[in-house]
Amino acid sequence: MSYFDTARQKQQALAKAGHAVILSIETSCDETAAAVVRDGREVLSNVVYTQIPLHRRFGGVVPELASRNHVDQIGVVVEQALSDAGRSLDSIDAIAVTCGPGLVGALLVGVSFAKGLALSHELPLVGTNHILGHIAANYLTFPDLEPPFTCLIASGGHSHIVRVAEYDRCELLGKTRDDAAGEAFDKVARVLGLPYPGGPELEKLAASGDPKAICFHSAFNEGDGFDMSFSGLKTAVINTLHTAEQKGEPVNRADVAASFQYAVNTILSDKAVRAANGTLALAGGVSANRNLRGMLQRKADRKGIRFCCPDFRYCTDNAAMIGSAGFYLLMRGHISDLDLNATPYLPIC
């Protein structure tokens, strides 16, 4: 029997039982991560090796370095995840791996490693969308959360508002026309002289600033639609800093950070809460921003909708979220053959 026929048989048996212990792998950007997750909800281990110190001196992720560092770390990280879970590959039911979106060279490391494990142990392989993973971070945090619900995804590469119709199907309601929210945070942090990744640093600086000090306005975001734009706000910050510099006037950087954060989070939260009914979830790296979490919670409370956001350890890239998303794909029969490839612009809807 071919690898795929064996894997399909195993997938069908697992789906019938409704149970699976998954080893998951995530290498889409600058984190090498592996986890063991039971039934999509219970994290048995979660290992994240971050490359941030490696990229920091360049002010952003250098793709070539990221790929090479994943090659160095992937074996160690997977071994650690298995050992922390007290399991060997013989007691793993399937392998889930991020196959896109992300950096192609980085993705290929995880995909190739996962294929090797799947083939050598005749395990079903589940190519998993990284953004479905970010959404699934909420399943790890809220055991009773099930689709359908509305989700705001705000990460380094995405700002989407979607209706999560089913575990494996999203409908797009709106998205950014230019920069992603996390990207805008990173770029503004950079002009404020903060290190990479800028989002968390900007949040820290904003804590001592006045969010109403400067009005960063963006006409595009005022319409009724759910699409967003953040590059105009970013340019407004740069102009504010340049103008002050040219006039020789001092700038209160904390006020700039707080006002920019307020502007971005107001757009995200207004649109997401307006799009939601019933339940609203937050996902992606920017979900670690406490100011955004607070704004969404208050606005959701006012509208009488339930608000969910991931535990902090599952906000930025990790493999536990891939293990959760991968479980639901596996249960629905979405397994991959050995021709699984990395897809840098894999869409979510």
Ligand X SMILES: Nc1ncnc2c1ncn2[C@@H]1O[C@H](COP(=O)(O)OP(=O)(O)OP(=O)(O)O)[C@@H](O)[C@H]1O
Closer to Mg ion by CB, 103 or 263: give it: 103
Nearer to Mg ion, 35 or 236 (CB): 35
286 binds, among Mg ion, ligand X, none (CB under 5 to 8 A by kind): ligand X
Q: CB 264 → ligand X: shortest distance, Å?
A: 9
Judged by beta carbon, residue 40 or residue 285, the one nearer ligand X is 285
Question: Which of Mg ion, ligand X, none does residue 26 bind (CB under 5 to 8 Å by kind)?
Answer: none
CB 312 within 8 A of CB 11: no
- Minimal CB distance residue for ligand X: 285
CB of 113 to ligand X, least distance (A): 18
Q: Which long-range contacts (CB under 8 A, 24 or more apart) does 196-203 make?
A: 196/52, 196/55, 196/56, 196/58, 196/59, 196/60, 196/61, 197/52, 197/156, 197/285, 199/285, 199/286, 199/288, 199/289, 200/288, 202/257, 202/260, 202/261, 203/261, 203/289, 203/290, 203/291
Residue 186: contacted member of Mg ion, ligand X, none (CB under 5 to 8 Å, by partner type): ligand X
Nearer to ligand X, 40 or 102 (CB): 102
Q: Are 181 and 264 in contact (CB under 8 A)?
A: yes
Q: How far is the CB of 203 from ligand X (least distance, A)?
A: 4
User: Quick one: which of 27, 69, 129, 155 contacts Mg ion (CB under 5 A)?
Assistant: 155
Burial readout 43-53 (b: 16 or more C-beta within 10 A, e: otherwise):
bbbbbbbebee
In angstroms, the Cα distances linking 9 to 114, 123, 261 are: 19, 10, 50
By CB under 5 A, which span of 13-21, 58-66, 175-183, 312-320 interacts with Mg ion? 312-320
- Cα–Cα distance for residue pair 348/65, rounded to 1 Å: 27
- Indicate the residue among 158 and 299 with the shorter CB distance to ligand X: 158
Shortest Cβ distance from residue 212 to ligand X (Å)?
19
Q: Of the listed pieces 149-157, 193-201, 212-220, 288-296, which binds Mg ion according to CB under 5 A?
A: 149-157
Distance between CA atoms of residues 42 and 19, nearest Å: 11
Q: Which residues bind ligand X (CB under 6 A)?
A: 28-29, 101-102, 130, 134, 155-158, 182-183, 185-186, 197-200, 203, 284-286, 288-289, 316-317
Among 293, 317, 330, 346, binds Mg ion (CB under 5 A): 317
Q: Residues with Cβ < 8 Å from 224, sequence gap 6 or more?
A: none
- Taking the complex as a whole, the smallest distance from the CB of residue 158 to Mg ion amounts, in Å, to 8
Q: Which one, 163 or 293, has the nearer CB to ligand X?
A: 293
Instruction: List all residues 6 or more positions away from 298 whose beta carbon is below 8 Å from its beta carbon.
Output: none
What minimum distance in Å lies between the beta carbon of 26 and Mg ion? 9
Q: Residue 185's binding partner, choosing from Mg ion, ligand X, none, with beta-carbon cut-off 5 to 8 A by kind? A: ligand X
Picked from Mg ion, ligand X, none, the partner binding residue 293 (CB below 5 to 8 A depending on kind) is: none
**Closest distance of CB 235 from ligand X, Å:** 18
Task: State the residues that interact with Mg ion by CB under 5 A.
Answer: 155, 317
